[in-house]
Structure 1
């Protein structure tokens, strides 16, 4: 296989999913340069994650539960969450609940895209296997990002429970990411029968969060007022 088709197949799922969630912002889309920056920073996170994962596994071994919930989910979701809290949570562009979903999806999909590129060029992969990965690891990272971003949005715009929602924004994606990894490690022969319903459930929940976050936008009433003026 030539390099370009493999590279495009590795990159396309992440870009497509990010475009989908970006365009789902109904009221005030985010600055594209900031979304792209978070996507690229998500890619950068892969490198420290690999180094730390190897260190953790060398020190504590490679047990299924430890690998799933600490070395993989805990580390990866923790790095994404830390980046978002430090760079986006108080940013002026984060001005409606849905913005958390956009930026968290950007970081998560940047991470997943570089993972996919490594898989494409360091493993024995085909175009079909890369497209299959779009259903599992890439969309999995996207869905964990939606969870994280949804609760970051609730934390920012629900002041009396900000601490609680900040904790949930880290712990909930960590939990589901850990479950996802554990299924792949434990269910050697029948993992697909578990994974397909799991992914469908996570997609349904994610789309519900997308809808609810948009409904809580402070710009919703402004948009409705503009529509009324146009009708008049």
Structure 2
């Protein structure tokens, strides 16, 4: 079956103007803005514009091409993971004794187990947010370890220095200053430093606000996990009524505010994700500084709640949480629209059918496709096809942004081959 969509020369470069409908819709969302001079054609399908289908010769050639995954283990990612692991190992020698000194062994064990409950809630949120275009597991592990160990160790090192450099203003006691200024500044800097490293060293996997939120939530979840061990364990070790104090601490931190740190650091991740669309080092560093401001303010606001805690929680913190949820929902909608548009451009070049694009661009369509494929034992192949197509859409977005075009075009070619092989696996 041949396509009735106007075709173009594969050599078309920047400035190429595709069919009118594609040109008008090239910016389907604020997440995917493309400058006119950066727009270029999607590469033609080898079949010469036909819609994809069973092509044994091509499929055989693709299966024999053992290509690495696009954006694989780059030097930056290897450095990031190895360096993060080394820092975490060293940080344990500071964090673990600190926790045990404040909780005791029994308190540490109870705190560790209790802290798994709010951590699970945060990681489930990460899973839901990250389902559309999942981040590499090794980077998520780095993010969690950075939050749980490295950022905590950095906080323990920096806090005394900050205390010597910044004294409380007249009329403010040190405890209030530490809660409302020192902790927000030091902790948010320590957590967000991991985000900055991810953006600088793993750029292919941090190319938008959703990625920023995913990594930020994971780092914050790790930090809150360790902090909860301290609070829950201290309620056991330093109280004459450990059961009651543990219940209060768990209700306040595990039930009422499991996402507090995630929302604080998430604001930094969102801003860094927006800056990632430009890929300029100066802009990235500026976004890091700017992104710390709302995180520190939100953190300070939370720590400032006192006797009227319940009223402030209902009137301030709950609306902030709902706003964060709404922003995440909008980001997911934007991802879906961007995926549809970029895959539509590949469909015009013969790589997908319109029905496939419709299926790949909605969560419902994907779920139905996987269920259908599972009915004849090809669920894994369909999941691979869906994941490959989604990654392809985001690779094209990177190409159209005008940054590192040649490198991303190589990734594009590898991903197109993988998609053709995935389709062939589904047909056999």
What's the TM-score once normalised by structure 2's chain length?
A: 0.47
Two-structure CA RMSD over aligned residues (Å): 3.1
Name the residue aligned to 1:42. Answer: 147
Matched, 1:8 2:126: no
Cα distance in structure 2, aligned partners of 1:40 and 1:28 = 22
Name the residue aligned to 1:84. Answer: 195
Measured against aligned partners, the alpha-carbon deviations of 1:74-122 in whole angstroms (never above 9, x if no partner) come to: 1111111222112334512223430110001111111111000112223
Matched, 1:171 2:293: yes
Post-superposition offset of 1:192: 1.8
Given that 1:81 and 1:148 are in contact with CA atoms closer than 8 Å, whether structure 2 keeps it comes out as yes
SS at match of 1:11: helix
Matched, 1:228 2:358: yes
| Structure 2 residues not aligned, in runs of 5+ | 1-105, 237-244, 345-353, 366-428
Cα distance in structure 1, aligned partners of 2:115 and 2:296 = 24
Cα distance in structure 2, aligned partners of 1:75 and 1:35 = 23
Cα distance in structure 2, aligned partners of 1:70 and 1:12 = 28
Given that 1:68 and 1:181 are in contact with CA atoms closer than 8 Å, whether structure 2 keeps it comes out as yes
Cα distance in structure 2, aligned partners of 1:85 and 1:208 = 25
- Please give the residue correspondences for 1:75-114 in structure 2 after superposition, counting only pairs within 5 Å: 75-91=186-202, 92-114=204-226
Given that 1:73 and 1:175 are in contact with CA atoms closer than 8 Å, whether structure 2 keeps it comes out as yes
Cα distance in structure 1, aligned partners of 2:264 and 2:199 = 17
- Which has the larger share of helix? 1
CA distance change for structure 1 residues 25 and 48 in 2, over 3 Å: closer, same or farther? closer
CA distance change for structure 1 residues 220 and 9 in 2, over 3 Å: closer, same or farther? farther
Which of these two proteins has the greater Rg computed from alpha carbons? 2
Matched, 1:154 2:284: no
Matched, 1:27 2:138: no
Given that 2:268 and 2:292 are in contact with CA atoms closer than 8 Å, whether structure 1 keeps it comes out as yes
Given that 2:107 and 2:232 are in contact with CA atoms closer than 8 Å, whether structure 1 keeps it comes out as no
Post-superposition offset of 1:10: 1.3
CA distance change for structure 1 residues 14 and 197 in 2, over 3 Å: closer, same or farther? farther
Given that 2:111 and 2:231 are in contact with CA atoms closer than 8 Å, whether structure 1 keeps it comes out as no
Corresponding residue to 2:254 among 118, 134, 141: 134
Q: Which has the higher contact order (CA 8 A, sep 6+)?
A: 1
Corresponding residue to 2:317 among 188, 199, 204: 199
- Length, aligned pairs only: 227
Cα distance in structure 2, aligned partners of 1:157 and 1:215 = 18
Post-superposition offset of 1:162: 4.0
Post-superposition offset of 1:221: 3.2
